[in-house]
Amino acid sequence: MELQANASLAELTSLGIGGTTDLLGIKRHEAIPELLRLLDFHGLPHSFLGGGSNLLVRDGELPWVVLQLVSAQPEVVLEGNLAHVDAAADLGRTVTYCAKHDLGGMEGLIGVPGTVGGALRMNAGAYGMQIGAYVREVKLYRAAGRRLETLCRDQISFEYRHTSFAPDDMMLAVTLELPSKPYKEILQGIRICNEKRRSSQPLGQKSAGCIFKNPPGASAGRMIDELGLKRLRVGDAQVSDRHANFFVNTGRATAKDMLALVADVRERVQKAFDVILECEVVVWNA
Ligand code: EPU
């Protein structure tokens, strides 16, 4: 373990929002069951942090410690069409590495920030694909059994931005089975997705990606846009003027600002469309 006392979650999240707490970097998976047993024994609550790119953390001193995996080296080991990937590996780097070895399928995920473990836990997806489609096996710490386990594909269900993992399960490693494709062809797909993303999303600003899930058959971004809410703000938290489902931190936004903006937009959408938008970002607000 590596202990960083008084770590700032604002510095560890793409939104740049969040209070401080002790951060424990985990170097060996095998140490996790004992670590969690000790935390329990001492009555210390905890949360797992991935890449911090889909997370809104409350302000102030957090009443729990944060655990984060320190990435193993090498992050990716290839074996034919299988990619064995450490959960702490950067998602974009993993997609690129596999592409260079003629393994495709994940082109749509290229611009999605975060770790492979984070993408896996919420079945991240874009441009018609979701990571779950390529999962063959997952190594994880299961809080229920308090031990490390390996689950095969048919023991896990992957749905739109949702998986059957328990909230306190911790992703450790995944084996992906990827289709063979020439690098040049994958690169072409990557370029197209990058271009679409650049033209529609506020990439240069601090955000957590889309703040709400799309309700069945509809687009949260389009509904918010139709209500003319682009640029609506609470403090430095603002609805992006580029994509209305991205809420950005334009300066020194607090979690309080961002949550007030979320509540305001949700209420207006409910009034206008009779739809209750569900958060897509994970909120740590205990
Ligand atoms: N639209 C507007 N105004 C806006 C935003 C969008 O009219 O401000 C319209 C677009 O013109 C389009 C439709 O709404 O006709 C859908 O927009 P877009 O193609 O941008 O997709 P999205 O449904 O808003 C989803 C994912 C994104 C993913 C893109 C591309 C969710 C919540 N969002 O966005 O994922 O990058 O498709 O596949 O599922 C994320 O998960 O954080 C995320 C950004």
Q: Give the pLDDT confidence of 6-49 residue by residue, as tens digits.
A: 999 999 999 999 999 999 999 999 999 999 999 999 999 999 99
Tell me how far the alpha carbon of residue 132 lies from the centroid of ligand 1, in angstroms.
19
Active site residue 152: no
pLDDT of residue 97: 98
Whose alpha carbon is nearest atom 16 of ligand 1?
A: 219
Whether the predicted model's global pTM rises above the 0.75 cut: yes
What average pLDDT does the segment 174-181 reach?
98
Average pLDDT for the chain: 97
Which residue out of 136, 161, 242, 268 is catalytically annotated? 161
Active site residue 153: no
Segment 92-123, tens digit of pLDDT: 999 999 999 999 999 999 999 999 999 999 99
Q: What is the DSSP string of the chain?
A: -EEEEEEEGGGTSTT----EEEEEEE--GGGHHHHHHHHHHTT--EEEESSSSSEEE-SSB-SSEEEEEPPPSSSEEEETTEEEEETTSBHHHHHHHHHHTTB-S-GGGTT--SBHHHHHHTT-EETTEEGGGGEEEEEEEETTTTEEEEEEGGGS-EETTEESS-TT-EEEEEEEE--B--HHHHHHHHHHHHHHHHHHS-TTSB--SBSBPPPTTS-HHHHHHHTT-TT-EETTEEE-SS-TTBEEE-SS--HHHHHHHHHHHHHHHHHHHS--PPB-SEEE--
Report residue 81's pLDDT band, with 50, 70 and 90 as the boundaries. Answer: very high
Report residue 1's pLDDT band, with 50, 70 and 90 as the boundaries. Answer: very high
Report residue 139's pLDDT band, with 50, 70 and 90 as the boundaries. Answer: very high
pLDDT of residue 142: 96
- Whether 242 is in the pocket of ligand 1, judged by its Cβ within 6 Å, is no
- Whether 194 is in the pocket of ligand 1, judged by its Cβ within 6 Å, is no
pLDDT of residue 236: 98
Report residue 234's pLDDT band, with 50, 70 and 90 as the boundaries. Answer: very high
pLDDT of residue 286: 82
- Whether 231 is in the pocket of ligand 1, judged by its Cβ within 6 Å, is no
- Whether 219 is in the pocket of ligand 1, judged by its Cβ within 6 Å, is yes
72 pLDDT above the threshold of 90: no
What average pLDDT does the segment 241-252 reach?
98
Provide the percentage of residues in the chain whose pLDDT is more than 90.
99
